Amino acid sequence: MRTLLLLALCVGAASAQPAAVDGELAFALLGIDDAEALAVGTAPDSLRPLLPEGATVLGTLRRDVGIGGRGTVTVLGRLDESPEEVAAAYARNAPDGWTSYSPERFSEPAGGFASSTSGTAGRSFQYYAGEDAERVAQVSVIGRPAGGAYVRVHQRWRHPLETNPHRGRAERPAWVDALEGSLPLLTAPEGDVQRRTGGGGGPDDDSSEADLRTDRPLAEVLTHIGGQMAEGGWTPGSHVSVGEVGTSSWVREWEGKSLAAMLYVRREAADRYALRIHVLGPDR
């Protein structure tokens, strides 16, 4: 929401839209220090079809994070129609050049961090594009306090270990499903937003990563995830917190084998955490 509010503020405050927002303001509100990363009033041509016809483009935020260093792109738009009307249009037809995924073709992970949205139930849509379904876009429709709706388009690159919707789940190596199955689904605290950002591993290990948006203290985030791990059959070991970073170790017996896991939680901004859990197989 901070991205949305900042872009709306900049557009509303200026009669002529600037090419970029002052770097100090962007750093203070969004945790970035590159003014070129935040452009007001423009959107990439490749993502314009994901905005409904007639939408006012508020701006674009680029981040040099994500799969393969190719980064992510977030575009914000504004419409006069109600959130329900905008969401209904997305539900009827996929945007030109994009395909809507279905749970049967693009399954959620068996375990690890799960993506969630808050306050947008029934108003969140996922699409993919490209010859190998390498581009993934999440579209969220959000009510606007002054009336109408905001549309948030977030594009990322599909992780090589994510299910390819063109080929189905069969392309995933068996060890990925096996180790993923040892973890419970780790969801965000109620009212907060979590986005799975990737993961992967080797023949005898696996990892899951996510971005959590919350202003809860570090200790509370660790306790929340730890509770889900314990309910999923994992036993806690050591716990260490230093400054804005917290770690904990976990063990469990699973299908007759001993597994170990390390949880890492790092506070990156006042309301954002980077989450990672790494599972080690019995031969590590």
pTM for the structure as a whole: 0.51
Pairing of strands 185-186, 112-113: parallel
- DSSP one-letter code for 225: H
245-254 and 135-143 strand pairing: unpaired
- Of the CA atoms within 13 Å of residue 190, those in its CB half-sphere come to 0
Cα-based distances in Å from 211 to 14, 50, 203: 32, 23, 25
Q: What's the first-to-final CA gap in the chain, in angstroms?
A: 41
Average pLDDT of 145-173? 71
Pairing of strands 99-100, 257-269: unpaired
Please check whether residue 83 is in contact with residue 122, taking contact to mean a CB–CB distance below 8 angstroms.
Answer: no
The candidate with the shortest Cα–Cα distance to 284, out of 264, 266, 261, is 261
Give percent of the chain above pLDDT 70. 67
Query: What pLDDT is stored for residue 179 in this prediction?
Result: 62
Domain ranges, ordered by start, for the chain: 2-108+117-157, 173-280
pLDDT digits (tens, 9 = 90+) for 10-29: 444 433 444 444 555 555 65
Q: What is the dihedral sign for C-alpha 94, 95, 99, 100?
A: negative
Confidence of residue 237 (pLDDT cuts 50, 70, 90): very high
Label residue 222 by pLDDT band (50, 70, 90): very high
How much is the pLDDT for 79? 94
pLDDT in tens, 172-184: 455 445 566 788 8
> Phi/psi at 68 (nearest 5 deg)?
65, 15
Look up residue 153 and give its two tokens: 């388009």
Which is higher by pLDDT, 270 or 124? 270
- Measured from the Cβ of residue 77, the count of other Cβ atoms closer than 10 Å reads 26
d(CA 117, CA 123): 9
For residue 267, what pLDDT band results from cuts at 50, 70 and 90? very high
Q: How confident is the model at residue 36 (pLDDT cuts 50, 70, 90)?
A: low
Write the single-letter amino acid at 116. S
Stretch 99-121: mean pLDDT, rounded?
58
| pLDDT band of 112, cuts 50, 70, 90 | confident
Asked if the model's pLDDT at residue 251 lies above 70, the reply is yes
Residue 118 in this model has a pLDDT that exceeds 70: no
Integer Cα distance of 272 and 136 in angstroms: 22
Which residue type is seen at 62? R
Rounded to whole angstroms, how far apart are CA atoms 248 and 226?
Answer: 8
**Is 90 exceeded by the pLDDT of residue 2?**
no
pLDDT tens column, 62-106? 876 554 456 788 899 999 999 889 988 888 888 999 988 654 344
129-142 pLDDT, tens digit per residue, is: 887 778 888 888 88
Amino acid at site 93 = N
User: What's the rounded Cα separation, in Å, for the pair 275 and 94?
Assistant: 31
Contact between 81 and 178 under an 8 Å Cβ cutoff? The reply is no
